[in-house]
Amino acid sequence: MTREKALALLHEYTKSEELWGSVGLIHDFDYEIYPDEHPQKGSEILAQKGISEELRKIILGHADFTGVPRESLMAKVLYAVDELCGFIIAVTLVRPNKSIGEVQVKSVKKKMKDKSFAAKVNRDEIRSGAEELGVDFDEHVNFVIQSLTTVAEKIGVNP
């Protein structure tokens, strides 16, 4: 399946795509100011701003240490891509041309074995994210690489 076909399928069956994108944008908004209280502090702020408990639970669930279960598909997807996106960007930035177009699944898996590379990225969360979604790990990594490729210029990893 091409990315275009996958996106068309998403648009056909997911009427709440803007909501998904918004959750993706705000889930780490509190990290810079409150790194030791993230994402709990962010949840408090979002509650004050009238954001629903359902969305706050989704955001809280993207970190294992909160103990908040990931019950919805959105919660599982956020968890599955959060650490992986950052890791793929790190892999990209050490490539000679700093281009995501050069990144392959095998290079991501190789870097995952190197514990000193992007040492703060939790490899267990990357693996368990794919497992919780019930998707093949290699396919998941490839899908995230391809998805990041579509916004490469915006995030500074031009293919």
Tell me the C-alpha distance between 143 and 120, whole Å. 23
Summarize pLDDT for 122-138 with one digit per residue, the tens: 999 999 999 999 999 99
Summarize pLDDT for 21-51 with one digit per residue, the tens: 889 889 999 999 999 999 999 999 999 999 9
Tokens 């068309």, residue? 8
* Paired tokens of 101: 């177009």
* Paired tokens of 25: 């944008």
Summarize pLDDT for 66-119 with one digit per residue, the tens: 999 999 999 999 999 999 999 999 999 999 999 999 999 999 999 999 999 999
Tell me the C-alpha distance between 158 and 150, whole Å. 9
**What does the domain layout of the chain look like in residue ranges?**
1-69, 72-159
DSSP designation for 72: S
> Using CA of residue 42, residue 152, residue 127, residue 24, what is the dihedral sign?
positive
